[in-house]
Amino acid sequence: MAARIFLGLFALALVWAIGLVLFVTELPEIDPQPVAAADGVVVYTGGGARIAAGMTLMEQGAAKRLLISGVNPDISRDEIGKMWPGAAETFDCCVDLGAQARTTEGNAAEVSDWAREHGFASLILVTSDYHMPRALVETHARLPAVDIVSYAVASDLLDGANRPVSVDAWRILAIEYSKYLAARAKTFARITA
Q: What number is the average pLDDT over the span 85-100?
A: 87
Q: How confident is the model at residue 151 (pLDDT cuts 50, 70, 90)?
A: very high
Cβ contact 134:179 at 8 Å? yes
Determine what percent of the chain is predicted with pLDDT higher than 90. Answer: 55
Cα distance between residue 42 and residue 56, in whole Å:
12
pLDDT at 179: 96
- Indicate the number of domains in the chain: 1
pLDDT at 150: 93
Q: Is the pLDDT of residue 123 over 90?
A: yes
The reported pLDDT for the residue numbered 164 is: 92
pLDDT on residue 193:
62
What domain range is 81 assigned to? 2-155+164-192
- pLDDT tens sequence across 63-85: 999 999 999 888 888 888 888 88
Question: What tens digit of pLDDT does each residue of 2-47 get?
Answer: 778 878 888 888 899 998 999 998 988 777 777 889 999 999 987 7
The CA distance from 168 to 185, in Å, is 26
Report which of 80, 95, 102, 77 is spatially closest to residue 40, judged by C-alpha positions: 95
Q: Contact at 8 Å (CB) between 106 and 70?
A: yes
State the first-to-last Cα distance of the chain, in angstroms, to the nearest integer: 34
Question: Region 161-174: what's the mean pLDDT?
Answer: 92
Q: Read off the CATH number of the domain in which 170 is found.
A: 3.40.50.620
Asked if pLDDT for residue 147 goes beyond 90, the answer is yes
